Amino acid sequence: MTSEVDWLLDELAAVASAQPADHPLYRVDRDNALTYESDALVANASPTRSRSVELSDANVVSVSYQEQDNTAIGTEFDYEIERIVSVRIEGVHESEFGHVDKTGAAGVPFETLVNDIRDAILAERTFPAAGANGRSYTELLTANEARVSSEHTDEYRHDFDVVFGGFETL
């Protein structure tokens, strides 16, 4: 369990509940193969999930912890830390039984979905309350934005990293 991942998924709850009922957004903890369906937590039956099935159920935003960097500061040996969490947004076009549709008629415009999710995260860019175990953060940034949709014909995908910057009191 990583507090940053849990916190991000919590922050995205509002985006998920604002989705149209026919085209839900599932939130996934990629580290533990946990899926949040609206507000209920559903453990994935198989951790090696077959995503084509999932993406025909809903659009998916998934979060996974990547790495931490420590720099010692001060005389009491505390750390200045940076933690990186990867966020991935995926969907499949409605013509392939997914929930992405530019017109908004048979799905959600992917552009809007990405913007809503980024906005929800960046709204908390100062002093995000994502820390635990002595970690406290002063800021978060997004980095390495990557639109990978053009690589796949019917699949939409947008990746970015969230960089948490702060301190760890030991």
Q: Which residues here bind other proteins, judged by CB under 8 A? A: 50-52, 66-67, 69, 71, 82, 84, 86, 143-148, 150-152, 155, 157, 159, 161, 163
Angle between helices 3-11 and 110-122 (to 10 degrees): 120
Closest to other proteins by CB, 96 vs 119, is: 96
Question: Nearest distance from residue 105's CB to other proteins, in Å?
Answer: 26
Residue 62 tokens, joined:
């998934």
Question: Nearest distance from residue 1's CB to other proteins, in Å?
Answer: 21
Question: Nearest distance from residue 104's CB to other proteins, in Å?
Answer: 25
Distance CA 155, CA 70 (A): 37
Short-list 21, 51, 22, 14, CA closest to 35:
51
Closest to other proteins by CB, 84 vs 106, is: 84
Question: Nearest distance from residue 30's CB to other proteins, in Å?
Answer: 10
Closest to other proteins by CB, 51 vs 125, is: 51
Closest to other proteins by CB, 17 vs 52, is: 52
Sheet with 155-168: strands ordered across: 40-43, 34-37, 25-29, 59-73, 78-92, 155-168, 135-147
Q: What are the Cα distances from residue 155, in Å, to 48, 76, 102?
A: 19, 50, 13
Question: Nearest distance from residue 148's CB to other proteins, in Å?
Answer: 5
Closest to other proteins by CB, 41 vs 97, is: 97
Distance CA 104, CA 8 (A): 26
